[in-house]
Chain A
Amino acid sequence: MREQSLNEQPSYVQVFLTFARNSLVRDMTFRANFVIQCISSISWTAMNVGLYVLIFSHTQQIGPGTGWAKHEFFVFLGTTMLVNSLVQTFFMPNAEEFSELIRTGGLDFALLKPIDTQFLISLQRVDWSSLSNLLAGVALIAYSLAHLMTRSVNPLPLSPWSLPLFLLYVLCGVAIMYSLMLSLAATSIWLGRNQTLYNFWFYITNFARYPMEIYGDWLSPLRILFTFIVPVLVVVNVPARVLAQPLYPERSLDWWLAVFALVATIGCLLASRYIFQRALRAYRSASS
């Protein structure tokens, strides 16, 4: 009897919904603070959009012949906002807490819980206010797509497959970012301190924020590094291309890139899981 109840698998969906609800209750306790956080993250995003409005007042495209003109690039920017806000909502607060857990020895409690440790430390907290940027991203994409599809010259066709594919690749992008973050967070078990590592995460993901064409052609070392070794370049580029650049065969989403994005996602998830498990074995509690 007792044996059986111990072997019983927890319902992961139920647990996650509880986490999400608790976080929402917590956020709603300090409602004014929640509103201010939403306003502040949307203001930063607006500033960023403003920067590109300024840039496109001086140029027609980013990179000659790349097809990233103003509204195509705004779809790209909106996609960046979507991916980033999802990562910030679900994973960022947890990764930050994880290094604290290691430093204070609080990880003991997480290890003792009858649930997968990676699941527990990855999803415990949800930062609902970061979702405001998701709305901003959706609005920006919708606006730009509407403009692209209704323009008189060369209107953009959108197939019924575009949207589901876009959502799939956005999720892939989130998964890749999550894997990277988890791997970096796990290394703090070995290093004890990881302030620089978080900066490192920020600097690496910075490369994902621009169309990959700006780093040169396929053979440029940066592009090889950030496509095949740390695949941050497929995170935003692939979904954004699905929506904004399906027209031109030579520039559109190459089939192998689409397939590669899926392979990279699975590879990243597996690799980060492996790194996380290895790191846990090295964990020594903080106090006696």
Chain B
Amino acid sequence: MVAGMYARVAVWWTILRIALEERLVYRGDFALGTLMRFLPIVTQLFLWWAIFESIRDTRGVAAGEPVELAGFRYTDMVAYYLLVMVARAFSSMPGLASGIALQIRNGEIKKYLVQPVDLLGFLLLNRVAHKLAYYSVALGPFALVFFLCRDYFQTGWLDAGTIAAFIASLVMSFLLGYFLEAAIGLVGFWFLEVSSLLFVYMLLSFFLSGHMFPLDLLGEPWRTLVEVLPLQYLAYFPAAVFLKKVTGPALVQGLCLQAAWLLFFIFLSRWLFHRGVRRYSGFGG
């Protein structure tokens, strides 16, 4: 029993280490790429600056006074975009769904059926390693940009509760992103090609996850749609927690809902895998 546990942990550790080393091969390119990924935000910030100045002009707010748009000042907007970038770095899973579908299509999935390795567990460890490697390199650029933009964070030092909630929401956003995309990929057992499904998902999350703009800007009926979909937990929610847009009972409720969505997608992907494998037939060697 203990030996069995030990062997399993050893397997996980090996998978994690190999994936880590694989990811750290192109460090320099990686760090530069991370820094450049902040560039689109620069243009977004210029755009929002112009918008806030227009609103100031229309409303006749004096030069020194802050202008608010749906509860966001310009400084909040800058902080929001940076925080969403952090959240997306946790929750985005490039190539996961299409990779799973490809493995189903070309039969590579067989290796998980004959080897004592679980597909979802193996890929999850791979992603954990990817993210660890990503952060070990990206921490530098991220820290630099956050330091340069420190004046935009007007919430001041956060209390321990908010920090804990922020970290919890980030970890859950990573897991939610993983199991959500894995579930989309596993639909490949039935459809073989999931790119159209993935496309709908990406289109929706472009608008409704909050990575293009704070979701507070949306009016009805979009606002309700956002509330019933899990997408906001991938980008908007962690940032909103950090900026103290969600506090008290709403925060607890939000975290619970996020956890519920996470459980739902864990079970969904397990179930899809279970059903899919029974349906799957592999040929050739």
Contacts and interface: CB of A to CB of B under 8 A. Distances in A.
Interface residues of B, number: 31
A200 B36 contact: yes
A204 to B, nearest CB: 8
Interface stretch (B55-63, B166-174, B180-188, B243-251): B55-63
B46 A60 contact: no
Given A58-B69, A58-B70, A60-B58, A210 B43 contact: yes
B50 A62 contact: yes
B39 interface: yes
Given A40-B199, A65-B57, A215 B46 contact: yes
B145 interface: no
Contact of A57 (B49, B54, B57, B219): B219
Given A60-B54, A66-B50, A196 B213 contact: no
Nearest to B58: A60
Given A59-B55, A59-B58, A51 B39 contact: no
A267 interface: no
Interface stretch (A42-50, A77-85, A125-133, A175-183): A42-50
Interface in A149-183: none
B49 A64 contact: no
B282 interface: no
- Which secondary structure characterizes the binding site on chain A? helix
Interface string B18-49: 00000000000100110011011001001101
A203 interface: yes
B53 A54 contact: no
Given A51-B213, A196-B33, A203-B40, A59 B203 contact: no
Contacts of A206: 39-40, 43
A63 B213 contact: no
A236 B54 CA distance: 22
Interface in B169-214: 196, 199, 203, 206-207, 212-213
Nearest to B195: A36
A63 B40 CA distance: 19
Nearest to A40: B199
A209 B43 contact: yes
A199 B33 contact: yes
Nearest to A215: B46
B139 interface: no
Contacts of B53: 63-64
B207 A47 contact: yes
22 contacts: A36-B196, A43-B199, A47-B206, A47-B207, A51-B213, A54-B213, A55-B213, A59-B69, A61-B57, A61-B58, A62-B47, A62-B54, A64-B57, A196-B36, A199-B37, A203-B40, A206-B39, A210-B47, A211-B50, A213-B50, A214-B47, A214-B49
B51 A59 contact: yes
Interface in B90-110: none
B206 A203 contact: no
Contacts of B46: 210, 214-215, 222
A239 B251 CA distance: 48
B27 to A, nearest CB: 13
Given A65-B57, A203-B39, A214 B217 contact: no
B218 interface: yes
B36 A199 contact: yes
Nearest to A213: B50
Contacts of A40: 199
Contacts of A203: 36, 39-40
Contact of A59 (B54, B196, B218, B219): B54
A47 B213 CA distance: 13
Contacts of B50: 62-63, 66, 211, 213-214
A211 B46 CA distance: 10
A283 interface: no
Contacts of A200: 36
Contacts of B219: 57
Contacts of A55: 51, 213
A207 interface: yes
A51 B206 CA distance: 10
A51 B57 CA distance: 22
A36 to B, nearest CB: 7
A211 B199 CA distance: 30
B207 A50 contact: yes
Nearest to A202: B40
Contacts of B55: 58-59
The 7 closest A-B pairs by CB, nearest first: A64-B57, A63-B50, A214-B50, A203-B39, A61-B54, A214-B46, A59-B54
